[in-house]
Structure 1
Amino acid sequence: MDNKEVERLVSDENEHLKKLHRIVEDTLKAEKLIIHNLLNPPLEILTQGQKISDKVARFGGSWRFIILFGIILSIWIVFNAIAIGVYKFDPYPFILMNLILSCIAALQAPVIMMSQNRQEEKDRMRSENDYLINLKAEMQIRSLQQKMDLLLEEQIKTLFETQEKQFDLLKEINLKLDKLHAK
């Protein structure tokens, strides 16, 4: 091998390394936005009404609320069933209690729906983050595949060049052997 061939091999190897560096740089640029969005999610700014709706939904959907409400209703019914005269403020069929229950249900339902809508928005944002994570993983896999393809391409190219040189050397050896046999 002469100096030109060595220089060409070194040049080819440098070009190969430059291709690998370009693939890595392109991958890092593409992932930068995704990583930024994952590390810096938008801050959630809650209004006073949203905070209240979350608290009402949290309390209204708890066992504590159910037990407390059951106790209050039981006391209400028992008191009005056994109270005498003036103290009986809501006699059977407990119309006032039914009115209060209807008002509570009418007010509580939209408040809980507001909280559920906000939770749905949070879930949507989480699924967007999951999508970004999956996209980042896919980009990394593609980058690895490109690197593998490039490496295989270079290996095959080098293998063919090596075989070509070996054939040339074999031809030279064969010629020299033919010359020696001819003498």
Structure 2
Amino acid sequence: MTENVGSVAQIAVYPVKSLAGRTVGEARVGPAGLVGDRAWAVVDATTGERVTTRTAPAMAEVVATGDGEADTITLTEVLGLPVRLVRAEAPQGDAAAVHLVSRSAIARAAGGDVPEGCSADDPRANLLLALDDEQDERTWVGRNLRVGEVELSVSRTPKHCLGVYAEVRTPGLVRVGDRVEVLTP
């Protein structure tokens, strides 16, 4: 049995950790999350240390093109620091495979309900959801969802972000407009 709670309004993939995301009409979701999401990291070309938005906030404004050489040149210019991209051995999601945020959460954040350290302007969600009235994704922790062909297990709310984190139970394809259903045990 399922309860339809809304639909997918937007899908974003973040190919390079800490850079801006790209919106797509559909995404393949594997066991570790959206295919290609956070597959690359930026490192200081001199020291080999990872560079993130904590130390280089301008990174968040750069959208990866998918061309490693072009992205490296752009980042070096923007940061004023020689950098290179390195392929991650595993996806680099800091907390879970998929990050879901509702438009309702963004509206709550605009009203002041924002976790400390969170950007309400850019919640960095993989799936932006348009939920029906009275729905709050935070109530889904511990429950399973079906989004398109994908089944997710909502694991927790993030400490410094809006929405919820989920692990992948059944891989598949998710598209903008797909229904979001809460599965009942």
Normalising by structure 2, we get a TM-score of: 0.20
Q: If you compute each CA radius of gyration, which structure gives the higher value, 1 or 2?
A: 1
Normalising by structure 1, we get a TM-score of: 0.20
More strand by share: 2
